[in-house]
Chains A and B, each alone.
Chain A
């Protein structure tokens, strides 16, 4: 409770209403005189107002600063343009509301799911709560980065550097200028400039340790104008050209290989599968899962590499 006996929230709401109602810019003196909740010495009220103004901006309210009289520019006034205050998305029909509700409900992570629910409540503040329409669409499971996500979102938005221990092949401390966040195959990634390596890298958020922290200063770096999250991932995905391999597979077995290979009978027990693969890792994984039902026959170097790959497991 402040000196005036009015709670801070109450004062902030009164200030919002006064700034919204005024067609002209209200000077500080007018605000202190007319808005309930401002009391104390001029310096106290000045400090209160500066904090209140920042708080309302943190809530996303756009406070315009201007003057009625161009000859007295130093006497700044304040107002909120009602058009820039309220949600204007046009009409939403029941199917559209159901789609938005489903979109908002895709998130298990607390920041995006809470934000989504807030957005839905705003639509319900225009149209009223609607009877749910079922669209029978699948739910997309993605991992839940919870705390890290909120901090990283803010760091990207306000361009703050972040520092964290990252668990990959080794556990190392990284300093990163965060450029963006990407959801890829069910996992969230941070993409940014690794300040020690001077390279753009991606970091799987589940591998970031709890020591994650952001610098206090905002706006300490600029994202390159030609940087794009989707282009970054596209380039990584498209690195490998396809290569060919030949495998012998048991009749009626090695189903995963059969599904993507061109298969010819070899004898009563074996078929020959020709396959184009883009990643050796994926081919080895598929072959190993088929156990004794698949043998890599060509090319010879691939066969040899697979044998060594298997032996690594035997000899620890």
Chain B
């Protein structure tokens, strides 16, 4: 879509103070920074050459050095300071800080983040109620586990963890090397290389029963760079869901191949390697779930369901 004169004006007004504070960047670097193309940035700068204060002599015009690999502003006139933040720009920062603050363990850093949030909220100067809010959930992680993992991440060291697996209902002990952490639907996860599985796994923090620093053995070190070239066999599972179970399909979009309406129900196809996990998840959904295939999954699903029901006779 072609950009409007207003979008171009907005970018041009922001280019001047940016170049003034960062002289010597190339057109390509500026294009990257402003998420635009080099030819567009060049045109913007050419246009700015023609802009200035009434009078429009060389004393009043914006003055710059403009070469492909070197841009600098000699005189920005009165556009030397960046424009104040818009409401959505401020919201992007305050909402982002709202997400981060509960995850900060270090007290000093947390205080800084809370202060910053206050400074930016004050900028909004609005009638109390914001347009968007982060609704904080319950704390689903364990402070001591989080701290041990944060330290292992910082030191690039390994941990011995006891982990409660959701798909097998078992507790296991493993040596893991944390790679990064993320939060999804209020749960903190660590992606780590697991020497037991020989590949990267995602560990939910509230399922880590204990974690302590450990040395990786020589054997485990040599296992680490092993490339997992072959994907596990993926099974295509098809099932009908009552509309109330739509949330399950939304929450697991990464494994849902397709969803189409089927009467008042939803017909969904999954591509999944961890059959045991999906079996338990489907059994735990409220209301109607009808597994249609493949036959081996269908047999297993209804076999397990009957086994659970038989305990109540």
Interface contact B34-A104, CB-CB below 8 Å: no
**Residues of B contacting A107 in the complex (Cβ-Cβ under 8 angstroms):** 92, 96
Nearest Cβ on chain A to B108's Cβ, whole angstroms: 9
**Residues of A contacting B234 in the complex (Cβ-Cβ under 8 angstroms):** none
Cα separation A223 to B128 with both chains bound (whole Å): 12
**Residues of B contacting A143 in the complex (Cβ-Cβ under 8 angstroms):** 250
Interface contact A60-B86, CB-CB below 8 Å: yes
Interface contact A103-B96, CB-CB below 8 Å: yes
Cα separation A289 to B20 with both chains bound (whole Å): 61
Given the known inter-chain contacts A85-B84, A255-B170, please indicate yes or no for A167 contacting B21, CB distance below 8 A. Answer: no
Interface contact B96-A13, CB-CB below 8 Å: no
Asked whether any CB of chain A lies closer than 8 Å to the CB of B271, the reply is no
Interface contact B132-A168, CB-CB below 8 Å: no
Cα separation A126 to B20 with both chains bound (whole Å): 9
72-128 of chain A: CB within 8 A of chain B: 82, 84-90, 95-96, 99-100, 102-107, 111-119, 121-128
Interface contact A126-B82, CB-CB below 8 Å: yes
Interface contact A104-B92, CB-CB below 8 Å: yes
Nearest Cβ on chain A to B36's Cβ, whole angstroms: 12
Interface contact B132-A126, CB-CB below 8 Å: no
Cα separation A86 to B78 with both chains bound (whole Å): 10
Per-residue CB contact flags for chain A residues 44-62 toward chain B (1 = under 8 Å, else 0) read 0000000000010011110
Cα separation A156 to B87 with both chains bound (whole Å): 12
Cα separation A183 to B119 with both chains bound (whole Å): 22
Cα separation A269 to B197 with both chains bound (whole Å): 30
Cα separation A116 to B100 with both chains bound (whole Å): 15
Asked whether any CB of chain B lies closer than 8 Å to the CB of A71, the reply is no
**Residues of B contacting A16 in the complex (Cβ-Cβ under 8 angstroms):** 13, 79
Asked whether any CB of chain A lies closer than 8 Å to the CB of B70, the reply is no
Nearest Cβ on chain A to B217's Cβ, whole angstroms: 26
Interface contact B180-A303, CB-CB below 8 Å: no
Interface contact A125-B17, CB-CB below 8 Å: yes
**Residues of A contacting B272 in the complex (Cβ-Cβ under 8 angstroms):** none
Asked whether any CB of chain A lies closer than 8 Å to the CB of B195, the reply is no
Cα separation A160 to B23 with both chains bound (whole Å): 43
Interface contact A100-B93, CB-CB below 8 Å: yes
Per-residue CB contact flags for chain A residues 221-245 toward chain B (1 = under 8 Å, else 0) read 0010001111001000000000000
Cα separation A157 to B17 with both chains bound (whole Å): 29
Nearest Cβ on chain B to A102's Cβ, whole angstroms: 6
- Which among B131, B166, B280 has the greatest number of chain A C-beta atoms within 10 A? B131
Nearest Cβ on chain A to B240's Cβ, whole angstroms: 8
CB contact between B56 and one of A36, A60, A99, A230 (< 8 Å): that residue: A36
**Residues of B contacting A285 in the complex (Cβ-Cβ under 8 angstroms):** 284-286
Interface contact A180-B10, CB-CB below 8 Å: no
Nearest Cβ on chain B to A208's Cβ, whole angstroms: 12
Per-residue CB contact flags for chain B residues 180-206 toward chain A (1 = under 8 Å, else 0) read 111111101000000000000000000
**Residues of B contacting A255 in the complex (Cβ-Cβ under 8 angstroms):** 164-165, 169-171
Interface contact A10-B92, CB-CB below 8 Å: no
Given the known inter-chain contacts A125-B14, A126-B21, please indicate yes or no for A17 contacting B77, CB distance below 8 A. Answer: yes
**Residues of B contacting A104 in the complex (Cβ-Cβ under 8 angstroms):** 92-93, 96
71-94 of chain B: CB within 8 A of chain A: 77-79, 81-94
Interface contact B307-A292, CB-CB below 8 Å: yes
123-155 of chain A: CB within 8 A of chain B: 123-129, 135-143, 153
Cα separation A223 to B82 with both chains bound (whole Å): 33
Interface contact A183-B133, CB-CB below 8 Å: yes
Cα separation A180 to B308 with both chains bound (whole Å): 44
**Residues of B contacting A55 in the complex (Cβ-Cβ under 8 angstroms):** 5-6, 9
**Residues of A contacting B166 in the complex (Cβ-Cβ under 8 angstroms):** 256, 289
Cα separation A256 to B135 with both chains bound (whole Å): 26
**Residues of A contacting B309 in the complex (Cβ-Cβ under 8 angstroms):** 307, 310-311, 314
Asked whether any CB of chain A lies closer than 8 Å to the CB of B230, the reply is no
Interface contact B243-A168, CB-CB below 8 Å: yes
205-230 of chain B: CB within 8 A of chain A: none
263-313 of chain B: CB within 8 A of chain A: 264, 280-281, 283-290, 302, 304-309, 311-312
8 contacts between A and B (CB under 8 A): A13-B9, A13-B79, A55-B9, A118-B86, A157-B131, A169-B243, A313-B283, A314-B309
A-B pairs, top 6 by smallest CB distance, nearest first, are: A103-B96, A116-B92, A86-B81, A138-B181, A34-B54, A122-B82
Chain B interface residues toward A at CB < 8 A? 5-6, 8-10, 12-14, 17-18, 20-22, 33-35, 47-48, 50-54, 56, 77-79, 81-97, 99-100, 103-104, 109, 112-113, 116, 119-120, 123, 129-135, 137, 150, 153-154, 164-166, 169-171, 180-186, 188, 240, 243-244, 246, 250, 264, 280-281, 283-290, 302, 304-309, 311-312
